Amino acid sequence: MRISRKKRPDKPLLPHYNINEQIKSEEVRIINDEGENLGVFSTKTALGMAQEQELDLVEINPKAVPPIAKIVPFAHFKYQKEKEARKQKTNSHVSEIKGVRISMRIGQHDLDIRRLQAEKFLNRGDKVKIELILKGRDRAQSQIGYDVVKAFADLIKQTVNIRFEQEPTRQGTRINAIITKQ
């Protein structure tokens, strides 16, 4: 089976809004810019009111009974909705689990490099999975592996306030722990 690696288009930033003649319902509830209810009108009457003011009739909530519409300039309304959506998107950060692999006989310089990398991930808001792979004779001395993982976490704890989300546990030939920033 072939795996497609093409980037699929994201869903649009805004949902589709019906405007003016695109509104299919017989009646609409009209609200003004401040959100005050003006009442229920037939769609033709509401469209006439919008055209008198040289504005657009925009269906805000099509699932309500009757659907809710607003008399506003559509370009301005769309701009405001896009602005709100972008602001929400920038404020939301999905935390990922980033992995850092160490070994039982890791050198001090390599340990410092991995510590800096883990600190960068933690400061960015991600979780860090510390992974130690037991090879050969190391499997019989797994307690040393637990000590190495805890020592690595203590090194990080000197500069970044962290907590264990998952304590070091052995799963087959690996010792895993997940830490997050407090």
Domains belonging to the chain, first-starting first, are: 20-91 (3.10.20.80), 97-181 (3.30.110.10)
**pTM for the whole structure:** 0.53
Report angle CA 113, 124, 92 to the nearest 5 degrees.
160
- Specify the amino acid at residue 81: K
Q: Please give the average per-residue pLDDT across 53-79, as a whole number.
A: 87
Say which residue, 5 or 175, is predicted with more confidence: 175
Q: Please give the average per-residue pLDDT across 48-58, as a whole number.
A: 87
Helices 142-157 and 108-124 meet at what angle, rounded to 10?
Answer: 60
- Specify the amino acid at residue 58: V
